A and B are shown apart, each in its own frame.
Chain A
Amino acid sequence: DQQVKQNSPSLSVQEGRISILNCDYTNSMFDYFLWYKKYPAEGPTFLISISSIKDKNEDGRFTVFLNKSAKHLSLHIVPSQPGDSAVYFCAATSGGGGTASKLTFGTGTRLQVTL
């Protein structure tokens, strides 16, 4: 049972344009969401997170939007750069009360930023 889904296995975007990566979840207990970037042969790198009490969080070129009613979140990267080419994982946890808990990951979206 895949509780976190990333339905697009890959995405290609031109440099300078916006990249939009999508993620859906099914578990209503999830209340904290994270995005990670992963290069080959490396561990995931934390990018940005959002609590379920918010609908938007922004950090530089990265913005995460959360639509709780639709159980959907998205990561926007503006402007996209060639160094952003990587696999992006959406993750969710039910530790929003400040209690550490396991992360449930999606299967990832491979982003390629072309020149």
Chain B
Amino acid sequence: NAGVMQNPRHLVRRRGQEARLRCSPMKGHSHVYWYRQLPEEGLKFMVYLQKENIIDESGMPKERFSAEFPKEGPSILRIQQVVRGDSAAYFCASSPNRGRLEQYFGPGTRLTVT
């Protein structure tokens, strides 16, 4: 059973460009979460999605950031007009349909904004 997959693993963008981060949850998992880890900090929740629905986006910055989890395909975290402060590790996690609260994380995407 493949784990949570994220790509790319490393992404370099110049200021003002767009970054697209992809996440495929574990097989059988329908809940997807995105977290961000800034250097020397813990993981901070960004957004929680189920298929075609945003359930909780209380951790998402109000501008430039968006997320989706379409009926088909991976979940996408999109950052428009990136700035240096967006440089971080972005982790995706997934959890089973119901009853289990553990979240299983992917290897992360390390975004560097130059």
In chain A, residues 15-60, which have Cβ atoms closer than 8 Å to a Cβ of chain B?
32, 34, 36, 41-46, 49
**B42 close to A100 (CB less than 8 A):** no
Residues of B within 8 A of A42 (CB): 107-108
**B45 close to A102 (CB less than 8 A):** yes
A67-75, A76-84, A88-96 - the one binding chain B: A88-96
| Count of chain A residues with a beta carbon within 8 Å of a chain B beta carbon | 25
- List 20 interface pairs A-B (beta carbons < 8 Å), by A numbering: A4-B42, A34-B103, A42-B108, A43-B4, A43-B106, A43-B108, A44-B91, A46-B105, A89-B42, A95-B101, A96-B101, A98-B99, A101-B101, A102-B45, A103-B93, A104-B45, A105-B42, A105-B43, A106-B42, A107-B41
Q: How large is the interface on B (under 10, 10 to 19, 20 to 34, 35 or more residues)?
A: 20 to 34
**B105 close to A101 (CB less than 8 A):** no
- Please classify the interface of chain A as helix (H, G, I), strand (E, B), loop, or mixed, using the class held by over half of its residues: loop
**A102 close to B56 (CB less than 8 A):** yes
Q: Top 9 A-B pairs ranked by shortest CB distance?
A: A43-B105, A105-B42, A102-B45, A107-B42, A105-B43, A44-B105, A100-B31, A43-B107, A98-B99
**B99 close to A103 (CB less than 8 A):** no
Task: For the complex, give the distance between the alpha carbons of A37 and B58 in Å.
Answer: 25
**A103 close to B107 (CB less than 8 A):** no
**B43 close to A89 (CB less than 8 A):** yes
- Selected from B4, B42, B59, B106, the residue in CB contact (under 8 A) with A102 is B59
Find the A residue at minimum CB distance from B104.
A46
Most buried by A among B6, B98, B101, B106: B101
A1-20 vs B: 1/0 string, CB under 8 Å? 00010000000000000000
Whether B72 is near chain A, meaning CB under 8 Å from some CB there, is no
Most buried by B among A43, A45, A96, A101: A43
**A93 close to B101 (CB less than 8 A):** yes
